[in-house]
Structure 1
Amino acid sequence: MKKVFVSSTGAQSGQSLAAWCIAEIYNSRGFRIGFFKPFITRPILQNGQVIDKDALLMKRYFNLTEELNILSPIISEGIPGDEVVREEQLSRIEQCYEMVKKDKDVLIIMGAEKIFYDPESPYLPDGILVNKFDAPVVLVDRFQNESMSMYSILAIDSFLKDKVKIVFLNQIPLEDMETVYNKLIPFFQKRGTPLLFLIPKDRILSSLTVKDIVDLIQGEVLTGESRLKNLVESTSISSTHLKGSLYLFRQIYNKIILLGLETEDLNSPLLSPKVTGIILTGGRRPAPVIVNTCGDVGVPLVISPFDTFVTMEKIQKQQVHIKENDVYKLKRFIQLLGGETAIQKIINEI
Structure 2
Amino acid sequence: MKRLYIGSMTGQSGKQVITLGLGLALKKRGLEIGYIKPIGKSPLYVDGKLVDADAEVFHRAVGLEEPLEKTSPLVYTIELLRKAMTGRLKNTGRKLLKEIETLQAELVLIAGTTDIFEGSLFGVNGLRICQMEGTKALIVERWRPEETVDDLLAAKELLGSALAGTVINRVDPQSLKEVQKEVVPFLKRHGIKVFGVVPDEKALSAVTVKDLVDALGAKVISGREHLDALVENFSIGAMDVTHALRYFQRIPKKAVITGAHRADIQMAALETSTRCIILTGGGQPNDVIIARAREKAVPILSVRTDTYTTVDRIEALLGSAKMRDPQRLPLVRDLVERHIDIKGLLRAI
TM-score, with length taken from structure 1:
0.64
Name the structure with the higher helix share: 2
Corresponding residue for residue 193 of structure 2? 194
Ranges in structure 1 where 5+ consecutive residues have no aligned partner: 236-257, 261-273, 278-300
**Once the 2 structures are TM-superposed, how far is the Cα of residue 145 of structure 1 from its aligned partner?**
1.8
2:113 corresponds to 1:112: yes
Corresponding residue for residue 170 of structure 1? 169
2:180 corresponds to 1:181: yes
3-state SS of the aligned residue for 1:161?
Answer: helix
3-state SS of the aligned residue for 2:345?
Answer: helix
2:12 corresponds to 1:12: yes
Change (3 A) 1:12 1:199: same
The answer on whether the counterparts of 2:44 and 2:51 sit within 8 Å (CA) in structure 1 is yes
**Once the 2 structures are TM-superposed, how far is the Cα of residue 231 of structure 1 from its aligned partner?**
4.9
Corresponding residue for residue 2 of structure 1? 2
Ranges in structure 2 where 5+ consecutive residues have no aligned partner: 235-251, 255-272, 277-296
Corresponding residue for residue 129 of structure 2? 129
Change (3 A) 1:138 1:82: farther
**Once the 2 structures are TM-superposed, how far is the Cα of residue 32 of structure 1 from its aligned partner?**
2.0
Larger Rg: 1
The answer on whether the counterparts of 2:13 and 2:142 sit within 8 Å (CA) in structure 1 is yes
Change (3 A) 1:118 1:59: closer
Corresponding residue for residue 97 of structure 1? 100
**Once the 2 structures are TM-superposed, how far is the Cα of residue 52 of structure 1 from its aligned partner?**
0.4
- 1:246-283 per-residue CA deviation (whole Å, 9 max, x = no partner) reads xxxxxxxxxxxx959xxxxxxxxxxxxx9999xxxxxx
**Once the 2 structures are TM-superposed, how far is the Cα of residue 63 of structure 1 from its aligned partner?**
2.3
Change (3 A) 1:192 1:330: farther
Change (3 A) 1:38 1:97: same
Q: How many residue pairs end up in the alignment?
A: 283
Give, in whole Å, the separation in 1 of the partners of 2:183 and 2:83. Answer: 36
Give, in whole Å, the separation in 1 of the partners of 2:111 and 2:144. Answer: 23
Change (3 A) 1:173 1:346: same
- Matched to 1:168, the amino acid is V
After TM superposition, which residue ranges in structure 1, 4 or more long, deviate above 6 angstroms? Answer: 81-84, 274-277, 313-316
Corresponding residue for residue 149 of structure 1? 148
**Once the 2 structures are TM-superposed, how far is the Cα of residue 234 of structure 1 from its aligned partner?**
5.5
Identity across the alignment (%): 21
Structural RMSD (CA): 4.3
**Highest RCO, 1 vs 2 (Cα 8 Å, sep ≥ 6):** 2
Change (3 A) 1:132 1:81: farther
3-state SS of the aligned residue for 2:50?
Answer: strand
Corresponding residue for residue 263 of structure 2? none
Give, in whole Å, the separation in 2 of the partners of 1:60 and 1:136. Answer: 25
Change (3 A) 1:9 1:331: farther
3-state SS of the aligned residue for 1:145?
Answer: coil
Give, in whole Å, the separation in 2 of the partners of 1:127 and 1:144. Answer: 23
Give, in whole Å, the separation in 1 of the partners of 2:330 and 2:52. Answer: 23
Corresponding residue for residue 81 of structure 2? 77
2:344 corresponds to 1:345: yes
Corresponding residue for residue 318 of structure 1? 314
The answer on whether the counterparts of 2:7 and 2:139 sit within 8 Å (CA) in structure 1 is yes
2:31 corresponds to 1:31: yes
Give, in whole Å, the separation in 1 of the partners of 2:44 and 2:204. Answer: 22
**Once the 2 structures are TM-superposed, how far is the Cα of residue 167 of structure 1 from its aligned partner?**
0.9
The answer on whether the counterparts of 1:39 and 1:123 sit within 8 Å (CA) in structure 2 is no
- 1:277-301 per-residue CA deviation (whole Å, 9 max, x = no partner) reads 9xxxxxxxxxxxxxxxxxxxxxxx9
